[in-house]
Amino acid sequence: MSSEISEKRAGGGMEPGAAITIENLTKNYGNRRGVVDLSLDVRTGEVLGFLGPNGAGKSTTIRVLLDLIRPTSGRVRVLGAHPRTDAVALHRRVGHLAGDAALPMRQTVDECLAFLGALRGGVDPSSVDELTERLGLDRTARIGELSTGNRRKVGLVQALMHRPELLVLDEPTSGLDPLAQRVFLELVREARREGRTVFLSSHVLSEVEAVADRVAIVREGRLVSRGTPADLRAHAALDVRIDFDPATPPDPADFRTLPGVTDLVLTGTTLRCGINGPTDPLVKAAARYTVARMTAREPDLEELFLRHYDGQEAGDRVVA
């Protein structure tokens, strides 16, 4: 599976029709690592969840895409343009919410949005009306008097109000209340239905799983996994539990060497393990005993994410 990444890197070509293409991106801050040899495509019209904890390289990647910082090496294209040489035209087509967005504290919400809209050459007032109403934002309040969550809503409105082709959102729901989070997810789904592209950086697994077409997981600046949420689960180990009849306690030696079996734990007459690949060898081994109950389930996206960061899955994995 890691070979797909290697082939893309070696090919040296940009993905045709991609909204974002990142090729062998590396960004160092002196002796500190930001991003290491990152290659990734975001397809036009899709929502891509860009996952990782703080310090994984998510914000660094976004800043390079928007030419807020310059890469150490590698190439990026955004909507077919170069972020440095085509910056002015490109920024008109992109809606960006930074993780640490700064807003003018003395202005009211209305004044702030009017100013930012004017910088873009004008924004449809009905779009601002709709977004502020749906997010429950008081437009007469001063920015400095707003809660952290309401300031985040202002940031979302300014990113969305000009109906951009591409949304680049860095931790967009940080500080939002549950109702506003739900509205945000609806807005992302609407953008996708309209054929727009969303690059969603987050560490909130539930929101990503709710809206993302594909997921990319970064660890310590490197891409460690990508694919659809369903594909990532399908290629992960099933979590298996087998309860045996107390009259026929199992011998763990019958299971430890089975192909694909990992993390085997036997507690009394209950066996727990992971299984990668066909389950037939495990089923046949269990059939030597009297099985009272057997269950198997796919891990959810949060469990897969935590396994990557616990070091339980080594190397690059690419499933789509």
What would the two tokens of residue 227 be? 């694919």
Residue 16 inside a domain? The answer is: yes
Q: What is the mean pLDDT of residues 127-150?
A: 95
Residue 260 inside a domain? The answer is: yes
Q: What is the pLDDT of residue 231?
A: 72
Query: Are residues 45 and 168 both part of a single domain?
Result: yes
Query: Are residues 78 and 32 both part of a single domain?
Result: yes
Query: Are residues 221 and 246 both part of a single domain?
Result: no
Query: Are residues 6 and 72 both part of a single domain?
Result: yes
Is 162 in contact with 123 (CB distance < 8 Å)? yes
Among the candidates 193, 212, 232, a domain finishes at 232
Residue 302 inside a domain? The answer is: no
Residue 58 inside a domain? The answer is: yes
Closest listed residue to residue 12, CA positions, set 39, 48, 42: 39
Q: What is the pLDDT of residues 197-211, one digit of tens each?
A: 999 998 777 788 889
Domain count of the fold of the chain: 2
CATH of the domain at 271: 3.30.70
Q: What is the pLDDT of residue 107?
A: 95
Query: Are residues 181 and 89 both part of a single domain?
Result: yes
Query: Are residues 170 and 276 both part of a single domain?
Result: no
Query: Are residues 285 and 182 both part of a single domain?
Result: no
Residue 266 inside a domain? The answer is: yes
Domain span including residue 26:
2-93+164-232
Query: Are residues 291 and 168 both part of a single domain?
Result: no
Residue 316 inside a domain? The answer is: no
Taking the C-alpha atoms of residue 281 and residue 152, their distance in angstroms, rounded to an integer, is 52
Q: What is the pLDDT of residues 16-69, one digit of tens each?
A: 579 999 999 999 998 888 999 999 999 999 999 998 877 889 999 999 999 999
Q: What is the pLDDT of residues 61-119, one digit of tens each?
A: 999 999 999 999 999 999 999 999 999 999 999 999 998 878 899 999 999 999 999 98
Q: What is the mean pLDDT of residues 164-188?
A: 94
Residue 62 inside a domain? The answer is: yes
CATH of the domain at 67: 3.40.50.300
Query: Are residues 9 and 80 both part of a single domain?
Result: yes
Whether the per-residue pLDDT at 304 is higher than 70: the answer is no
> How far apart, in Å, are the Cα atoms of 271 and each of 49, 246, 260, 289?
35, 12, 15, 12
Taking the C-alpha atoms of residue 244 and residue 268, their distance in angstroms, rounded to an integer, is 9
Residue 13 inside a domain? The answer is: yes
Closest listed residue to residue 74, CA positions, set 14, 129, 125, 128: 14
Query: Are residues 66 and 168 both part of a single domain?
Result: yes
Q: What is the pTM of this model?
A: 0.74
Query: Are residues 6 and 86 both part of a single domain?
Result: yes
Query: Are residues 187 and 278 both part of a single domain?
Result: no
Taking the C-alpha atoms of residue 175 and residue 169, their distance in angstroms, rounded to an integer, is 14
